[in-house]
């Protein structure tokens, strides 16, 4: 029941066709943690600058998140991201990015976290992902994300990381770029050839695809008109998936399929409003209701 996530904590400014928010709490580890704590407690390993607002810290403290691994680095600034979503909002455009503290040394895993059994390595430099893994005793399940820039510029390092993880959660463009395959099932199988036991491929409004040695399993997105801000959808998906897998203590294909339903529902809440506005207040009851809706929509006998 010990789930560790390492990833970014950011201060985001986001514009979508539905409005704009400035200097709000964001980052992969944050969205992940809000989704995963619906299932299990989360141990956070991340670094912020000493400009990190106390209000944001309190938002994190409001959940079952162990902040022992949250380093506040003196004299540094927190990661900032300014982005926008246009048209069908399927992809973010980065308007401005200040890596700040993320460009410095990675945060350390506190000794009290070393026994974590499940770990999610959100998108970052693949060498840093391995450094975190190396500080853990013997996780049962290690899953990583990645992105274009590492696939292109740090391919060898990323391949080394892939040899060490149990699973991968990436989006369709990343899966294609990583494997040079257009067909997503072929891309997923090519990822399995690189080491992982499963590949979950996120397709935004088009749902997701799981590829394991048992085959390929597709799932549509939760059908919704309420899409105000897709920021954090992918990390919320991963949070729902890993939270559920940790709670279940299993990682067979059937459990992975059910985890994908939880990830789908987690992201459906994340996109309903800007920043954490919706996920901050969503109750487990609402989550369960939406899981039932999705499962019933897909029941044909």
Residues near a second copy (CB under 8 A) are 87-89, 182-186, 203, 205-207, 209, 215-221, 223-225, 227, 257-258, 261, 295, 297-301
Residue 228 C-beta: closest distance to a second copy, Å: 11
Q: Whole-angstrom distance between the N-terminal and C-terminal Cα of the chain?
A: 35
- Cβ at position 189, least distance to a second copy in Å: 8
Q: Whole-number minimum distance, CB 104 to a second copy, in Å? A: 39
Query: Which of 134/182 has CB closer to a second copy?
Result: 182
Question: Which CB, 144 or 261, lies closer to a second copy?
Answer: 261
CA dist list (Å): 110 to 71, 132, 173, 236: 10, 10, 34, 24
Edge-to-edge strand ranges of the sheet holding 141-144: 65-73, 42-49, 3-6, 118-121, 141-144, 167-171, 198-202, 208-212, 215-219
Q: Which is nearer to a second copy, 87 or 111 (CB)?
A: 87
Give kind and range of the element (H or E) at residue 69. Answer: strand 65-73
- Count Cα neighbours of 134 within 13 Å in the Cβ-side half-sphere: 9
From CA 111, how far away is CA 68, in angstroms rounded? Answer: 10
| Residue 217 vs 269, nearer CB to a second copy | 217
As a whole number of angstroms, the distance between CA 193 and CA 65 comes to 35
Of 82 and 253, which has the nearer Cβ to a second copy?
A: 253
Give, in order, the Cα–Cα distances in Å from 173 to each of 135, 163, 182, 184, 201: 30, 21, 9, 9, 9
Q: Min. distance of Cβ 238 from a second copy in angstroms?
A: 19
Q: How far is the CB of 227 from a second copy (least distance, A)?
A: 7
* CB of residue 157 to a second copy, shortest distance in Å: 28
Residue 11 or 168 having the CB closest to a second copy: 168
* Cβ-based neighbour number of residue 105 at 10 Å: 11
């Amino acid at each position: 029941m010990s789930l560790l996530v390492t990833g970014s904590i950011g201060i985001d400014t986001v514009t979508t066709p539905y409005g704009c928010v400035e200097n709000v709490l964001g980052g992969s580890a944050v969205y992940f943690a809000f989704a995963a704590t619906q299932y299990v407690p989360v141990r956070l390993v991340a670094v912020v600058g000493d400009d990190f607002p106390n209000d944001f810290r309190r938002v994190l403290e409001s959940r079952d998140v162990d902040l022992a691994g949250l380093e506040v680095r003196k004299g540094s600034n927190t990661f900032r991201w300014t982005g926008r979503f246009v048209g069908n909002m399927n992809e973010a455009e980065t308007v401005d990015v200040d890596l700040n503290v993320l460009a410095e040394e990675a945060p350390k895993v506190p000794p009290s976290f070393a026994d974590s059994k499940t770990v999610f390595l959100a998108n970052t430099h693949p060498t840093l992902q391995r450094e975190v893994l190396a500080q853990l005793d013997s996780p049962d399940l290690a899953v990583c994300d990645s992105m274009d820039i590492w696939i292109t510029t740090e391919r060898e390092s990323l391949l080394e990381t892939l040899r060490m993880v149990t699973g991968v959660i990436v989006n369709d463009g990343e899966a294609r770029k990583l494997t040079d395959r257009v067909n997503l099932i072929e891309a997923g199988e090519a990822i399995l050839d690189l080491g992982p036991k499963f590949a979950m491929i996120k397709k935004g409004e088009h749902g997701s695809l799981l590829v394991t040695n048992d085959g390929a399993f597709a799932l549509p997105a939760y059908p919704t008109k309420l899409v105000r801000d897709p920021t954090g959808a992918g990390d919320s998906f991963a949070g729902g998936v890993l939270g559920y897998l940790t709670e279940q203590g299993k990682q067979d294909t059937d459990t992975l399929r059910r985890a994908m339903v939880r990830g789908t529902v987690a992201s459906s809440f994340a996109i309903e409003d800007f920043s954490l506005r919706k996920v901050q207040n969503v109750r487990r009851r609402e989550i369960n209701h939406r899981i039932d809706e999705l499962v019933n929509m897909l029941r044909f006998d």
